[in-house]
Amino acid sequence: MYKSRVKSLRKQLETDIQGKKTDSARDRFRELESLLDSGVNKGILHRNAVARTKSRLHHRLNGIQ
């Protein structure tokens, strides 16, 4: 269930980025970042994979601003 929440939120963020919805995308990114970090702390997600994902999404988010 945890991984599916991450995937759903990531897809919603991708949709916001493609639709150039800056405010919504920024809010979703903060929520996703928190969820990913807690996944690392719980041992569900690998820390390097999470760092890579956050970096890529952050670059895409900065591209629409």
The tens digit of pLDDT for each residue in 9-55 reads 999 999 999 999 999 999 999 999 999 999 999 999 999 999 999 99
pTM: 0.89
- Which structural domain, as residue segments, surrounds residue 47? 2-11+21-63
Number of domains in the chain: 1
- Evaluate whether residue 54 is within a structural domain: yes
Contact 34, 12 (CB under 8 A): no
Tokens of 49: 């994979």
Output b/e per residue, 22-32; b: 16+ Cβ within 10 A. Answer: eeebeebbeeb
